[in-house]
């Protein structure tokens, strides 16, 4: 007897010019899962933006002058982890599902192995690197972050398909300690893109199709494509207005930052980018 596979919604909603709304949608998906049991796989992109983790201080994670001069937005997500750079050459993916009987590192491994499987289907020698990276060789090509709540899980990641790595290296501030720990001397040497490794221009849609099949296989589900509901969009827009677009959200952790008094005005400038 063949077991019925779970059905997940495949969602391609994106708001590239408004990364804060994109992040608010992530939180709205958790609400839909909690209240209606809607499991979702989402693919989406942002225009130029630095996305910092929930517990990071933007004053320590970004190069403010570069962000302002280059029109790079800086936003805070609701999951932990490190700062990442997004542009239209990134493919972001989000999985929202009910909590299995495993800890977050094990969930990262399951999702990360699926990403690596999708990249291997493209011909790349890719592997999952604990705790939350996917690499080609020794160079990072994707990273994961997650949230575990009462009975719910959200894991999302960004995959560098044809990302502007030079811009990435200019707008992110990476500590010398972090570079030394990884035995390298620059951001540029730590990361790579799918296109660079393939030796040709890869499209985000091409990579998306490979990831879709890999996720379905690894997590044993089928998909039906559907857009955000009106209720989800309305909730996301309210989160955007009341939370994600506010200086208090972007800068809340800066209260303990030694640079707060010197650079707080920069946070307000970044919100106007």
Q: Tens digit of pLDDT for each residue in 136-161?
A: 999 999 999 999 988 899 999 999 99
Instruction: Please report, for residues 3, 25, 224, 263, the alpha-carbon distance to residue 118 in angstroms, rounded to integers and kept in the order given.
Output: 24, 25, 20, 42
Per DSSP, helices labelled H in the chain are 19-36, 58-61, 64-70, 104-121, 165-171, 176-181, 187-190, 194-198, 204-219, 230-239, 247-250, 260-270
Mean pLDDT value of segment 128-135:
98
The reported pLDDT for the residue numbered 253 is: 64
The reported pLDDT for the residue numbered 271 is: 65
Please tell me the number of Cα atoms within 13 Å of 245 on its side-chain side.
11
The reported pLDDT for the residue numbered 1 is: 41
Mean pLDDT value of segment 216-227:
97
70 three-class SS: helix
Percent of the chain residues past pLDDT 70, beyond the cut: 86
Please check the confidence at residue 121 and state whether its pLDDT lies above 70. yes
Task: Please give the model's pTM, rounded to 2 decimal places.
Answer: 0.92
Q: Tens digit of pLDDT for each residue in 224-238?
A: 999 999 999 999 999
Q: Does domain 6-265 have CATH number 1.10.230.10?
A: no
The reported pLDDT for the residue numbered 189 is: 83
Q: Tens digit of pLDDT for each residue in 33-85?
A: 999 999 999 999 999 999 999 999 888 889 988 998 999 999 999 999 999 99
Q: Where are the domains positioned within the chain?
A: 6-265
Residue 184 CB contacts under 8 Å (≥ 6 apart), including other chains: 190
């Amino acid at each position: 007897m063949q077991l019925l596979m779970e059905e997940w919604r495949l969602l391609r909603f994106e708001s590239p010019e408004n990364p804060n709304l994109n992040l608010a949608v992530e939180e709205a998906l958790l609400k839909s899962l909690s209240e209606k049991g809607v499991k979702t796989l989402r693919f989406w992109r942002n225009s130029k933006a630095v996305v910092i983790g929930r517990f990071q201080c933007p004053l320590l994670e970004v190069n403010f002058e570069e962000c302002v001069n280059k029109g790079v937005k800086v936003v805070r997500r609701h999951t932990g982890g490190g700062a990442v750079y997004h542009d239209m050459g990134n493919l972001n993916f989000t999985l929202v599902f009910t909590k299995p009987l495993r800890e977050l590192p094990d969930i990262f491994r399951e999702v990360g192995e699926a990403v690596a499987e999708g990249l291997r289907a493209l011909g790349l020698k890719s592997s999952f690197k604990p705790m939350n990276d996917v690499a080609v060789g020794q160079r990072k090509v994707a990273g994961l972050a997650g949230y575990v709540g009462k009975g719910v899980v959200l894991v999302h990641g960004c995959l560098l398909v044809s990302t502007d790595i030079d811009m990435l290296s200019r707008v992110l501030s990476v500590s010398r300690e972090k570079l030394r720990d990884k035995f390298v001397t620059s951001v540029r040497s730590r990361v790579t893109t799918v296109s660079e490794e393939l030796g040709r221009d890869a499209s985000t849609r091409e990579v998306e199709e490979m990831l879709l099949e890999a996720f379905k296989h690894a997590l044993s589900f089928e998909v039906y494509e559907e857009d955000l509901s009106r209720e989800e969009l309305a909730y996301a827009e309210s989160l955007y207005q009341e939370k994600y677009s506010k200086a208090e959200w972007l800068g809340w952790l800066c209260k303990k930052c030694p640079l707060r008094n010197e650079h707080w005005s920069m946070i307000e400038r970044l919100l106007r980018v």
